[in-house]
A and B are shown apart, each in its own frame.
Chain A
Amino acid sequence: MTTDVNTFIGGFPFRHVPHPEADSLARVLEREGIAAAWVGHLPSAYYRDPNAGNDALFTTLAPHRGVLHPVPALRPDWPHWEQTLRELLEREAIAIRAYPPQWGMDPHASPMMELASACGTLNVPLLLTVRFEDLRQRHWMDAASDLSGAAIRAIVRADDRVRVVVTCAGRALIEEVHWGLTRQEQSRLWWDISWIWGPPEEELAHLFGTIGAQRFVFGSAWPLRLVQTPRANLELLPHDLRDAQLADVATLRDVIAQH
């Protein structure tokens, strides 16, 4: 059963995205044989206050309960964020998204560390996004930098219970972070495969061979990117890695019990 952890509904401020609706996503998942998706609200990455986006997310996904799982966004520098976090979990958020670069937040500052710690305490994964678009095509007003390796390491180290899923990272960033963490820290961090190159450079195969497939989860970045890409990448793995198993996202909440 494949779950796509990296999907959104809603438009993107810097270019037209065709049909970013929940109904379309549900049809795409069925067509592609993907059982479920973790779904964020894309415009919320650029809202100063994402709470209205979260309301829209829960409302829109409600008819697709069991297939489209809401991943609301939370700003830890916003008043009463701790209360908001508890309310989001009561509304069955499966994970929490945060966008420090898009919100102009220092990802190393205490609010992000406090959010990481709270997510660890409440046993909910924290989902981060390295980038939405390639630097080469970024709109001039999209001044947010990529999420840095240093920021990811700091967030993972903020609490030994926090589990972090990082999306849209490439090989260099993944290696920089992974080999800069202890084994215990590594075990609480997963990467989606939406932005890792396949053959002929075979960076996905390299990472599976060195870091292990269990550190990776299925993700596409739909509706920004084609949903077909991660599966194509897996199918093009060298023969000796063809049976590699990605991490089962259903177990992410259970990992804390092992530590």
Chain B
Amino acid sequence: MGSELAAPLAGAGPLVDVHAHFLHRACGRADWEVRNQARFRAGTRIGISVHVASMLGTFGFTSPTYFPSPPDVTLGNTEMLALQEREPARVRSYVTVNPNYATHALEEMARCAERGAVGLKLAASRRADDPLLDPIAAEAGRRGWPILHHIWQHRTREWPAQEISDGADLGRLARRHPEVTFILAHIGGGGDYRHTFAAVEDIANIYLDLSGSGVDRGMLDDAIRAVSVERLLWGSDITMETGLAKLRALAAAGVTPEGIAHIRWRNAARVFPPGALPGPRGALAADTAMAVEPR
């Protein structure tokens, strides 16, 4: 019997990863399937109930990761939805779009909605506050989808291969679309998260996801002070060990089981459309068994 069947490392109770990625066969990586299986294996070990994931075109193989061509956008979304269909109990899909191709973006949203997508993923193809994003954001709002937006924590200059946005940029978009929920990606993904917290703390329709390789001490405490546990979402992105470490750090920092449950899944259950996630809404009582370390 494999130890994957042992008690989840993150404790019992629902756990929604709002920021995951899977690969597909056209990504130019021979190990694409191994990496996907590694995510599932680690997800089971951690105790992830559902991976809400995206595929960013071909991740740079035939067009750039953050500037995917329309054909690659379509391919990535198709592969993502196919994975969701194969793994209905533990995978949900964001639709990825490139806002520079506005008509294609709206068509993709409609096509993928038909197949069960639950949210929109915007990477770094266009600055977050650009008017090109407005019809896309409005359409996401009409569908009740959250928008997960790739964010650089405090943009002080341009970086290659991305048109980066920061919390202030996303804040301007979010203020124009108060009916839409935005997920500000990976506060541990590099840059100055304290700038982000200051930029979005008073924008109620922006949630923060905790993912990213960054595990700075103080980051979680500052995030809670800025937006409270009710606007934080758990995610792993491409470093699942840092995700597990952050969950444990929340408990060690004295966040109550109730607060941790908000971060683990309750906020996600509120952010995604009703019935979009395969479990948390029906498992309201299950999280109370989660182990909490003493401070």
Contacts and interface: CB of A to CB of B under 8 A. Distances in A.
Q: Are A and B a genuine interacting pair, yes or no?
A: yes
Nearest to B38: A200
Interface stretch (A47-55, A217-225, A249-257): A217-225
Contact of B42 (A198, A224, A231): A198
Nearest to B220: A226
Contact of A198 (B3, B241, B252): B241
A183 interface: no
Contacts, number: 103
A210 interface: no
Given A197-B241, A229-B241, A18 B9 contact: no
A238 B156 CA distance: 39
A31 B293 contact: yes
Contact of B190 (A134, A140, A231, A236): A134
A136 interface: yes
Contacts of A223: 217
B41 A238 contact: yes
Given A137-B191, A199-B42, A224 B216 contact: yes
A236 B45 contact: yes
Contacts of A233: 241
A1 interface: no
A114 interface: no
A198 B41 CA distance: 12
A201 B35 contact: yes
Interface stretch (B84-92, B175-183, B242-250, B273-281): B242-250
Contacts of A137: 153, 190-192, 214
A16 B38 contact: no
Nearest to A233: B241
Nearest to B156: A140
Interface in B29-88: 35-36, 38-39, 41-42, 45-46
A171 interface: no
A228 interface: yes
3 shortest A-B CB distances, which residue pairs?
Answer: A136-B190, A198-B241, A199-B42
Interface of A: 15-18, 31, 134, 136-137, 140, 197-202, 204, 222-226, 228-229, 231-233, 235-236, 238-239, 242
10 contacts: A17-B217, A136-B190, A137-B214, A140-B156, A200-B39, A226-B245, A228-B245, A231-B245, A232-B242, A242-B3
